[in-house]
Every structure is written in structure tokens, then in C-alpha cells.
Amino acid sequence: MSVFHTENRDGTLVVTLDRAPLNALSAETLEEGAALLAATADAPPEAGMVLTGANGVFTAGVDIKQAADADLEMRRRLFWGINDFCAALMRLPCPVVAAVTGHAIGAGGIVAIAADWTLIADKELKIGLPEAKAGLPFPQIPQIIMEYGLSPVWHRRLALTSVLYGAKESIEAELADELVPADEIVDRAVARAQEMAAQPAFVEIKANMRRQAWQDIDTVYADRDAG
């Protein structure tokens, strides 16, 4: 059964991750999500996309239990699952708004950085990139996203300290753009996506801003295939 639920709201595709209790990203979840995003890129919604999470959580990141029990093949699936999901997200040509409904750890923080605009719920939650503390080095595509989406100072602070930030702190830490009431976050995210999509030059400007990141992503896959 799919863990990504989709809804069309007046031309905006709302994608909700629903894998209780913490929306952890297993290899299967990442592969399903990457396929969904790639298909969306082939036929972009006219009023953009909203990514959000059910269960009062955005995502707690990689499924730690699966990672701990993984054999070599499963580790490879997790590694490339993260890369493929993040690459597909970065390549979406339409507006992408993240509605961070709760904890956004590790890969959840990466998604927040990769979105064109990120709303975060005004509630008790934690967001950040604790991969160093968890013993999980960043795959290549998340590294590219951090280089693209963070200033050098916050890239260093977030990646090397594993500090988790609260909702209000996330704005200063460059992990979110807007603090909104928790019960309004998806509606506000849809409105923001529609506002962005209504701009005639949005797609071209986004492509120009991300061109180097896309080229770097292509290089990662070319190196893999050559090896």
C-alpha cells in the first residue's frame, strides 16, 4: 500500500507522506517517493506541489531500524534511495513548497532546504541534520542540496554539530522561510505554491538558479555508471 497520498487542490498537487508513527524513510518509501517525483516532473502540476507529512510529523529521516539491520544490498538501496529521492525533488520544474508539520530530521531537513519555499508549524518540534551524530555520512545529492541551499556558515554549523533547532529558530538557521500556525500550514502552503506558479517567469528563473546543481547531480550519476 502506498505511503504517499496525493490530492489535487485547484491545480496544486499535495503529496502527504503517511508512514506512522514517524514517517521514517525506508528503502521502499524512498523508491516510491522518487518514482512519484520523477513522474510529476514529466507532467508538472500547473499550480505547483506541496510536500507534507501526516501524523503530526514531517519525517524523522532514514528508517534507523532498517539501516541498523541492513546487509550490503539494503545499505546500497538506502544510499541510492536517498540520492534518487533528493535528485528527483531538485529536478522538479514547478514550484515546490514544503509544509513542515512536525519533526524534520536528517532527510527531512534536506527536503526543507531543497524546496522553493518552506513553511514550518509554530509548535514544539525539532529540525536539523544530525547525520554526524547518527554515524550516517551524507550521500552525494544531499551534499549538493546543502551547498546549493545553505550559506557556508550554516552549512558548517548544521552538518558538523548535529544541533536540532526549534520551529522559531529554524528561520535563522536557513531551514525554513515562514512560521505559520500548525492548523493552517497545508492551506497556507497551497496558497504559496499557487502564488509562485502564477508568476510567468518562475520556471525559467528556477531553472537558471538550479542549473549548476542539476549539472552536479548529473555528474554523480555519470560517475556511478562509469564505475
Largest CA distance in the chain: 49
Tell me which H or E stretch contains 94: none
pLDDT of residue 154: 98
Would you say residue 192 lies in a domain?
no
pLDDT of residue 164: 98
E-only strand ranges, 29-159: 49-53, 96-100, 104-105, 117-121, 127-128
Would you say residue 156 lies in a domain?
yes
Neighbours of 107 (CB within 10 A): 26
Domain that holds residue 90: 4-185+197-226
Total structural domains within the chain = 1
* Angstrom distance (rounded) from CA 182 to CA 167: 11
The pLDDT > 90 percentage for the chain reads 94
10-residue mean pLDDT series, the chain (227 residues): 96 98 96 98 97 97 88 93 98 98 97 98 98 93 98 98 98 98 98 98 98 97 92
pLDDT of residue 64: 87
| CATH number for position 26 | 3.90.226.10
Q: Using one digit for the tens of pLDDT, what is the confidence trace for 6-16?
A: 999 999 999 99
Would you say residue 207 lies in a domain?
yes
Would you say residue 190 lies in a domain?
no
